[in-house]
Amino acid sequence: MVLATRTLASIEHAAELFRNARRAVTLTGAGISTPSGIPDFRSEGTGLWSRDEPMEVASLSTFRTDPERFFKWFRGLAGQIYEAQPNPAHKTLAKWESAGLLQAVITQNIDHLHQKAGSKNVVEMHGTLSTLSCTQCFRQYGYQDYLQAFVVDGTMPICPSCGAVLKPDVILFGEQLPQKAWYEAQRFSRSCDLMLVAGSSLEVLPVAGLPMQAVDRGAHLVIINQSPTYIDVRADVVIAGDVAEIIPLIGEKVLDV
C-alpha cells in the first residue's frame, strides 16, 4: 500500500496523540465492519437502504405487526454477520485496550466483531445480535440456539417458555437507544482526552453528537472515514481512507514506542 506524504504525516500525528493520551476512546460505525464483509446501510448504490425502505422492513412497528416480514429481510444480513470475522482495525483496537491505551469502544454496530477481536469494554449503542428477548415474557436467550437455526433454515425464533416471537436485541427504527449504553457513551465522551472516530459518517443522532461533546470539553479528535463528516473542521487529524488499513498503521507506531 502506497500512501501519500500527507497521509503518512497524519498517521504519525494521530499516533503521537494516542501516545500522549490518558483517556482515549473510540467511536466506530459501519465503515469498520465493511472490510469484514458486512454491508453498511447508507452508502449510495451498495447500502442496505438503497435497496429497502428502512421503515418498512426494520421498524419496531413492522416487527410488532408483521414479524415474518422483518425476519425475511433480516435473514441474509444475520447470516453475513455470523460468518464475519474481525479485521485488522478491530484487532488493533483490542490490542490498544489490552495495553491500557484505550478506555472503551463506543460502537454503532450490532455485529459483535469488537468482542470477537478481544475488546472487553464495548458500549453497543444500537444493541447486539448476541442475544434475543421474548416480546411477551421478556426472557432473554443466547443467539446460538435460535438465530443460528433461523439463518440456516428460516425458522422464526420462538420463545420456548411462552411461545411468543423472540426479537433480536438490536435497536429498530422507532425504538429508543438503550439507556445504560447512552449514559455510558456520554460519560466516556465527556471525560476523554482523545476520541477516535473510525468508519462513521456521523449522520445518525444522537450518537453523531458524541464527538462534539468530547471536543467541547477539550479532547483531541481523530477521524478516519471514507467520506467527510460534519465535525472534520474541529478535528486534529482527518484521514480519508479504509480504517482496516489506516488504524493498524497508527497502531504500529503507537505500540512500538
Average pLDDT in the 101-123 region? 96
Question: For residue 43, is pLDDT > 50?
Answer: no
Give the SS3 label for residue 230: coil
Taken in order of first residue, the domains within the chain and their CATH numbers are 1-38+86-126+177-257 (3.40.50.1220), 41-83+128-170 (3.30.1600.10)
Q: Which of 249, 241, 248, 177 is nearest to 34 (CA)?
A: 241
Q: Write out pLDDT tens, residues 22-33.
A: 999 999 999 999
63-72, 230-239, 244-253: least confident range: 63-72
Query: Exposed, middle or buried: residue 108 (CB in 10 Å: 0-12, 13-18, 19+)?
Result: buried
Between residues 114 and 152, which one has the greater pLDDT? 114
pLDDT given at position 79: 83
Q: Write out pLDDT tens, residues 122-165.
A: 999 999 888 899 999 999 998 877 777 788 888 889 999 999 99
Give the global pTM.
Answer: 0.89
Looking at the annotation, which residues are catalytic?
126
CA 60/CA 180 separation, integer angstroms: 20
What share of the chain in percent tops pLDDT 90? Answer: 68
Amino acid, res. 121: N
